[in-house]
Amino acid sequence: MMLKSARWRNLLTTAVAVTAMAALSGCHKKASGVNPATLGPTADTTSATPTATISADPLSIDLGQSVVLNWRTTGASAVTIDGIGQVPVNGTQTVSPSNSTNFHLVAKNDAGGSTEANVRVTVRVAAAPTAPTADASGDMGSDAAFHQAVPDAFFDYDSYELRPDAQQAATSAASYLASHPSIRVVIGGYSDERGSAEYNLALGENRANSARQALVTAGIAPSRLRVVSYGKEKQFCSESTESCWQQNRRAQFSLDR
């Protein structure tokens, strides 16, 4: 009976030992596994920087002609070109720039990568023909030709403010003087017969200065312009009527020889 008990205890001890070793072996295998977090980030092909090219044919044109833009990208999900906007990732487009232009392309992908490409198109603008001017001797032409091209400016009663028709006269004078840089001008201020001589001299000077300022504002050099007032001393019409007085209220442009 005591022998059976001893054998039973030996079997029980052996079973416990085997169970413990199996448990330890299982724990060891679990601990020996690879932790994915220790391997670092994996490669992400979507974060690669896209590539882009853009070309123009031809690179130089005359104003009014067209040019064909051609662009190609890889790895891009959105492409824009300055002045055109969003475009396909690959494509062509015909454009007619009005001046020399740098076409700037930006290609982006969904991961935030971007790249840029540029092509410059030169636009040639024909030079405007030069208007005929006085010859090298400084000849300013005839008075008749000048007055035909440059009308006088007329004013309302007791006023030196340029009316619309007077402003148009000053604009015509400025255009003519700009194309004839050798010409110098004297601007005479006149008034009708009403009022004192002193008052009308001042009024005539103000009218001449108003016309002169309009020419200066239009780009004519002040050194080419001279002002003189005649007041009511020189009348273009001697009748005492409104139509006659209107003729005398003027600023007259004349060649300053």
Q: Map out the domains of the chain as residue ranges.
A: 47-124, 143-255
What is the Cα–Cα distance from 136 to 30, expressed in whole angstroms? 105
- Cα dihedral sign for 42, 47, 49, 53? positive
Contact 121, 62 (CB under 8 A): no
CB atoms within 10 A of CB 130: 7
pLDDT per position in the chain (257 positions), as tens?
444 555 656 555 655 555 555 555 554 444 455 565 555 554 454 458 999 999 999 999 988 888 899 999 999 999 999 989 999 999 999 998 988 999 999 999 999 899 999 999 999 876 544 444 444 445 566 788 888 888 899 999 989 998 888 888 888 889 999 989 989 999 999 999 999 999 999 999 999 999 999 999 989 999 999 999 999 888 888 888 998 999 899 999 989 87
CATH class of 47-124: mainly beta
pLDDT for res 199: 92
What's the confidence (pLDDT) of residue 136? Answer: 41
Backbone φ/ψ region at 8: left (φ over 0), alpha (ψ -120 to 50), beta: alpha
User: What class is the 143-255 domain?
Assistant: alpha beta
Q: What pLDDT, on a 0 to 100 scale, did the predictor assign at position 137? A: 44
196's tokens? 């004192």
Could you tell me where the DSSP H helices lie in 105-235?
143-149, 164-179, 197-217
Give pLDDT, residue 45: 46
Pairing state between β 114-124 and 60-62: parallel
In angstroms, what is the C-alpha Rg of the chain?
Answer: 47
Q: What is the pLDDT of residue 132?
A: 45
